[in-house]
Amino acid sequence: MVPGVRLVVLGKQGAGKGTQCVRLSHHYVVPHVSTGDMLRGEVKSRTPLGQRAKALMDQGELISDELVMEMVGLRLREKDTRARGFILDGCPRTIAQAEELADIVAPDHLDLVIDLDVPTAMVLGRLASRRVCMDCGANYSTSSPPLTNWTCDVCGGEVVQREDDTEEAIRRRLELYERQTSPLIDWYQHHDLLMSVDGTGTPDAVTTRCVQAIDDRRTKPVTSP
């Protein structure tokens, strides 16, 4: 049986994190934990958290560290993630979240943090054409739509443009990524957990690079966070 993994995937909006995380979660048979999907679920169910998060999300602003980490902590303490690990997508986004995450997984530690590296010019093009399933979060694009009339091939849900994929919100999210999230790359590098993976090329090629990076790391385990 393939061993599980505790993996964080970083990368700008549109770097292909969602697509790669779904593929990696199937490969390693561990849950894909996406904070964006979880928050969109809270918004859809109109929970108190969803009501607080909606306006911030629509503007491309970040939700507070406290609210996000409470949600992530609950999820990562469930039996399935405790037993086999997780592919964490969209979190951490700040150093404070990274510190909290290390506490949540302790006494275990992360196996690896992958930084999916794609040039900004390329992600802008991908985001403008991105379309997603409202129900399961599957990703499509205007050049590679679902087989029938914007109906999800995976679950039959409606495939739409995300409300925060407007030009203004995209610009804001990329700006916040540079300011708050990219310092995480240095932080994880310092903790000897970071591996940069070239995110350009076909989805299959990128998945192969990610699996290689993870499997290489298994032969050289670490002891920090």
By annotation, the residues acting in catalysis are: 17, 93, 130, 162, 173
> Which tokens in the block code for residue 213?
């990076």
CA torsion sign for 167, 169, 172, 174 is negative
Helix axes 48-59, 35-44, angle to 10 degrees: 120
Those residues whose C-beta lies under 8 Å from the C-beta of residue 222, and which sit 6 or more positions away, are: 109, 111, 191, 192, 193
Q: How far is CA 8 from CA 105, 154, 187, 195, in A?
A: 12, 25, 13, 10
Residue whose pair of structure tokens reads 């049986």 in the numeric block: 1
In angstroms, what is the minimal distance from the CB of 178 to ligand ADP? 13
Considering the complex, state which of residue 89 and residue 217 has its C-beta at the smaller distance from ligand ADP. Answer: 89
Considering the complex, state which of residue 110 and residue 217 has its C-beta at the smaller distance from ligand ADP. Answer: 110
Contact 151, 128 (CB under 8 A): no
Number of residue whose CB is nearest ligand ADP: 36
Interface residues with ligand ADP (CB under 6 A) are 13, 35-36, 39, 56-57, 60-63, 68, 90-91, 93, 97, 164, 173
In angstroms, what is the minimal distance from the CB of 26 to ligand ADP? 19
In angstroms, what is the minimal distance from the CB of 215 to ligand ADP? 26
Nearest-angstrom CA–CA distance, 92 and 7: 11
Considering the complex, state which of residue 71 and residue 217 has its C-beta at the smaller distance from ligand ADP. Answer: 71
In angstroms, what is the minimal distance from the CB of 175 to ligand ADP? 11
Considering the complex, state which of residue 71 and residue 194 has its C-beta at the smaller distance from ligand ADP. Answer: 71
